[in-house]
Amino acid sequence: MATSSWSEELASLVEDPGVRYGGDRNPMSYTTTPSLFEVSGGESEEGSGGGESLKDQAMGFLMAWCEIVMELGRGCRDILQQNFLNDDSYVVRKFGGPCAKVSKRLSFLNDLLPEDRDPLQAWSVVFFVFVIALAAISVDSNRDTLTKVVKVCMHPPSANRILLPDGRYMAYLDQGIPAGRARFSFVAPHSFLSSRLAGIPGIKASLLEEYGVRLVTYDLPGFGESDPHPSRNLNSSAMDMLHLANAVNASDKFWVLCYSSGCIHAWASLRYIPERIAGAVMLAPVINPYEPNMLKDEMKRTWDKWLQRRQFMYSLAHRFPKLLSFFYRKSFLPEKHDRIDKLLAFSLGKKDEILIEEPSFEEFWQRDVEESIRQGKVEPFVEEVVLQVSKWGFDIEELHVQKKCQTRGILLWLKSMYGEAECELVGFLGPIHIWQGLDDRVVPPSMTEYIGRVLPEAVIHKLPNEGHFSYFFFCDECHRKMFSTLLGTPQGPIEQQEVTAFVENKEHI
């Protein structure tokens, strides 16, 4: 009986891969039979009659191996399903519960998908596309040439600093009238991705002098030249502001001025150190977007104004804050600048779009960002956004001015029956002025509507056609209107004679 050659035995082990080996005269020659991978046009390019070219032979060999690999993959898949993915397997028993919990917590993301899509299949595709996109970005050397970018520069330290009671240093910037002659003192925490250099962008020194204003701005913990705080919250933020005011000899009562997300620290000062605050000046103030006391309509109109990427970042900060460091490290600690709307993932109104193209705004923005990320750490940014979306420890409603009467206890109850109970005013007693652009898409007007509903004593100045930046940044007329509304007729700084008389009167008392 004729024995089979080694090539025929090897070919018999696979399910007809489509390869047929020749006889003994030329062992290396082979022919291919049609397969699901075969390409039309089997004739040789040289036009030789029945023979095959080397190209056809290599193509046939490759197609055969592809079919073998596919069969191997199917076999491995079947083995995994039968031995590892059934209910009795160790993998399912060990990891099934945690995976189910994670899937339940992430189920809110399914609302972003079309109703006719299978979540498992859709998110698998999204994940692999995301991985491929990251790989493409990391290897694409021409990506930086597609957009207008400016290289980030690090500047030498230039801030004044004070030593806080807990040993940290806080950096600040003093503008306007000196402490001894200032008629009004303003203390201003900065907003997200900003620094002490912001203050009132474009404010003129002549305007500060005309109204006798001293403006003190400072770096939040971990921003600019301020040391980070190991466990900061809004209470510690208010205490930092108080220590700064005392260290720089601010007046007995000072105004707190804030813009956008920096207003969470202003709210804290009104709650924890109200006896030192003369009044509050807020421009597009942020509140917690997960505020439980907001009406459904207010909540909906707030979230609808934001891009999906911004909604996603807030959701991460609210549920999985540790994941923010990856995204922020890519966005906020780059080697090059980008447009403010792209960097912070929000859309802008018409006036804002025009403003951010101005050279003065672009120069200010670049310098402010450079100072903000000076320390090269992402933790302060994560802490800041987590403060925005977490429980503050108080409600804004607590600042509402109302009477509180002492009626607890038998004696107080009897006294209230035969006379008036002892009552006192609670809440923040000073003025609160809020300026809100009605075309603001970063801090929607619905947030200010909520503030006006729970704090009816707050004075809200609605600005038609104004956006998030257009009224506050580089607008001399706007700055003058604000000071005129807050301080009345300009009286200039306190003269030396007034200072001397005030000191003598204080000594006499």
Contact 189, 257 (CB under 8 A): no
Query: How far is residue 67 from each of residues 78, 111, 214, 217, measured CA to CA in Å?
Result: 17, 40, 79, 69
Q: What are the phi and psi torsion angles at 432 (to 5°)?
A: -125, 115
pLDDT at residue 343, as a whole number: 76
Structure tokens at 346: 């929000």
Structure tokens at 198: 């912001």
Under the banding of pLDDT at 50, 70 and 90, the label for residue 416 is low
Element (H, E) at 385: helix 379-389
pLDDT in tens, 166-193: 999 999 999 999 998 999 999 999 999 9
Radius of gyration over every alpha carbon of the chain, rounded to an integer in angstroms: 34
Q: How far apart are CA 106 and CA 300, in angstroms?
A: 21
User: Per-residue pLDDT for 105 more than 80?
Assistant: no
Which has the closest alpha carbon to 449: 282, 310, 302? 302
Element (H, E) at 5: none
When mean pLDDT is compared across 47-56, 230-239, 251-260, the lowest value belongs to: 47-56
Residue spans of the domains in the chain: they are 1-38+53-106, 154-509
State which amino acid sits at residue 294: M
What percent of the chain has pLDDT above 90?
A: 53
Mean pLDDT estimate for the chain: 81
DSSP letters, 249-273, are: T--SSEEEEEEGGGHHHHHHHHHH-
User: Cβ atoms within 10 A of the Cβ of 457, count?
Assistant: 15
Cα of 183 vs its chain's centroid, Å: 37
Angle between helices 445-454 and 296-304 (to 10 degrees): 150
Tokens 């300009």, located at residue: 490
State which amino acid sits at residue 53: S
Q: How far apart are CA 61 and CA 73, in angstroms?
A: 19
Q: How far apart are CA 142 and CA 147, in angstroms?
A: 10
Contact 256, 280 (CB under 8 A): yes
User: Per-residue pLDDT for 89 more than 60?
Assistant: yes
pLDDT at residue 444, as a whole number: 95
User: Cβ atoms within 10 A of the Cβ of 390, count?
Assistant: 15
When mean pLDDT is compared across 25-34, 54-63, 176-185, the lowest value belongs to: 25-34
Mean pLDDT of 479-505: 78
Cβ neighbours of residue 83 closer than 8 Å, sequence gap 6 or more: 89
Task: Say how many residues make up the chain.
Answer: 509
Dihedral of CA 49/55/56/58: which sign?
A: positive
Under the banding of pLDDT at 50, 70 and 90, the label for residue 409 is low
pLDDT in tens, 124-164: 767 766 777 666 655 544 443 334 456 778 889 989 999 99
User: CATH homologous superfamily of domain 154-509?
Assistant: Alpha/Beta hydrolase fold, catalytic domain (3.40.50.1820)
What percent of the chain has pLDDT above 70?
A: 73
Under the banding of pLDDT at 50, 70 and 90, the label for residue 64 is confident
State which amino acid sits at residue 313: M
Contact 201, 473 (CB under 8 A): yes
Mean pLDDT of 378-386: 94
pLDDT at residue 385, as a whole number: 94
Q: How far apart are CA 309 and CA 458, in angstroms?
A: 32
pLDDT at residue 330, as a whole number: 77
DSSP alpha helix (H) spans, 84-118: 90-105
